[in-house]
Structure 1
Amino acid sequence: MKMTSLKMKKILDERFSNPEFYTSYKRNEDSYRIEWKESKQGMTITLPNVVSKYNKRGETAIDELEKHVLEALRIMNEEHTLSGMEKNIYPVIRATSFATETNAGTTLVSKDHTAETRVYYALDLGKSYRLIDEPMLEKEEWTYDRIDEIATFNIRSLSNDFKKDTVADNDFYFVAKQDGYDASRILNEAFLEEMLANSKGQLAVAVPHQDVLIFADIQNKTGYDILAQMTMKFFAEGSIPITSLPFIYEDKTLEPVFIMAKNRPEQKK
């Protein structure tokens, strides 16, 4: 029997049957929302995506969804403090299209990074993390500079092990520790400078999604084409996509570039 959004809604109604939850379905958006009745905090699920995963993986997909949603709701309903948790604060890279406010209208703490990316800050809670918002800072009288300094220090403390692959005389390095902060390592300037010092050609960097950081030591025109195809592939497959545009790293700056087939890159205007 073919799964539909309405059938999926009924399954989710059963899974999230809890007197403390309020669930709703928006037919025009084909979305399903679960939130805490008291605080109104919650999350919205795009039903066609769930149906697609169900058609591929069956009940396992719904089991995983339920697990992730309940964990997210649990975190939303807890009081979190920053003081004493300094070692658990990290920066996270997101696309500039990523929301700067929560659904409840609370401003998330963030700063500009490049034309394609923005930096947010996360409180690591083990299995998941919570993005830090302005009320959390105000409650503890922290400044933006302080949270940025702490998060930047912590990202430098993470290991930067990578795997190397050479294609058509171009060297590619992949950082994929699966710790939630792979892309965030692009903020470790010492790491970027180290990779630049060891590059033979032009150094390019890419953060197609949250769980990978790619360095490319481009030594010929073919290298640009390979990097462009690679970045697009990773971007399409990532669970939290960031940008399909790679960056050229030089003079301590990251410049997003369009890479034209069989041509050197052109800086994004």
Structure 2
Amino acid sequence: MKMTSIKMKKILEERFQNPDWRTSFNRDKDIFRVEWKDTKQGISITVPNVVAKYEQRGEAAVADLEYHVKEALKIMNVEHVLTGKEKNIFPVIRATSFPKKTKSGMKLIYSDHTAETRIYYALDLGSTYKLIDEEMLEKEGWTMDRIREISIFNVRSLETNPKIDTVADNDFYFVGAQDGYDASRILNESLLEEMKANSKGELAVAVPHQDVLIFADIQNDTGYDILAQMTMKFFAEGRVPITSLPFIYEDKKLEPIFILAKNRPTEPKNTKGDE
């Protein structure tokens, strides 16, 4: 029997029964909402999206949704502190299009990184993490410099065991620890310098999504094409996509590059036509 939005709404009502929560359903927008009764903070779920996932994966899709929504609700209802949790503060890389505020209007703290990426800061809570906002910082009298220093120190302490794959005489290294901070390792400057020192050709770096960091030791023009296809594929498949543009690492700087088929990469530049 085909799953409908109304049937899914009933399933969700059963899954999110809790005396401290209120559930509601907007028929016009097909949105199911779960929120805390006292604070009205909650999660809105687009039901047709859940139906589509259910048709692909069955009960596992609903169970996955239930877990993540309950974790998010739990985080909302706890006052998180930074002091004493210094070892649990990490930087996370996001696209520059990522929101600068939470849905409840809190300003998230962030630092500029590249033209394609931005650095946000997270408090690791074990199975998930909470992005740090200005209010958390102000409450504890912390500065941005302190957050930056602590988070970068912590990301340097993470293990990096890349898997290597050689294609058409180009070496590709994949970091995928699945700890939520794979892309964040791009901020480990000593790692970048080590990879640069050991590269035979030009070093390119890519963070197509949160759970992978790719290094490419490019030794011929084919390497650029392979990297472009690889980065686009990872970007399309990632749960938290970041950027499909790789970077060239040179002089301790990351420069985003466009890779044109069968050509070396080019950086966008302003050109004037012949007059």
Percent identity, aligned pairs only, is 72
Q: Which runs of 4+ in 1 moved over 6 A?
A: none
Structure-2 separation of matches of 1:30 and 1:226: 42
Partner of 1:83: 83
Q: Structure 1: 5+ residue runs without aligned partners?
A: none
Q: What secondary structure, in the 3-state scheme, does the structure 1 residue paired with 2:102 have? A: coil
Q: Which residue of 1 aligns with 2:273?
A: none
**Cα deviation digits, residues 1-33 of structure 1 (max 9, x gap):** 222333222221221122322333345554333
Q: Distance in 2 between matches of 1:224 and 1:46?
A: 39
**Higher Cα radius of gyration:** 2
Give the number of equivalent residue pairs. 269
Question: What TM-score comes out, normalization by structure 2 length?
Answer: 0.94
Question: Structure 2: how far apart are the matches of 1:165 and 1:15?
Answer: 44
In structure 2, what residue type is equivalent to 1:257?
I
TM-score, normalised with respect to structure 1: 0.96
Measure how far apart 1:81 and its partner are: 0.7
1:162 partner letter: P
- CA-to-aligned-CA distance 1:31-54 (integer Å, 9 cap, x gap): 333221222222232333322221
**1:139-191: CA deviations, max 9, x gaps?**
10001111011000000011111000000000000000011100000001111
Q: Secondary structure at the match of 2:119?
A: strand
**What is aligned with 1:136?**
136
1:131 maps to amino acid:
L
**Number of the residue aligned with 1:209:** 209
Which 5+ residue runs of structure 2 have no aligned equivalent? Answer: 270-275
Counterpart of 1:176?
A: 176
Residues 90-145 of structure 1 show CA distances to partners (whole Å, capped at 9, x for unaligned) of 00011111111111100011111111111111111111111111111001000111
Q: Which runs of structure 2 are paired with 1:1-269 in the superposition (5 Å)?
A: 1-27=1-27, 29-269=29-269
Distance 1:13-1:166 versus aligned 2 partners, 3 A rule: same
- The structure-2 alpha-carbon separation of the partners of 1:76 and 1:227, relative to structure 1 and needing over 3 Å to count, comes to same
CA distance, structure 2, for counterparts of residue 14 and residue 142 of structure 1: 42
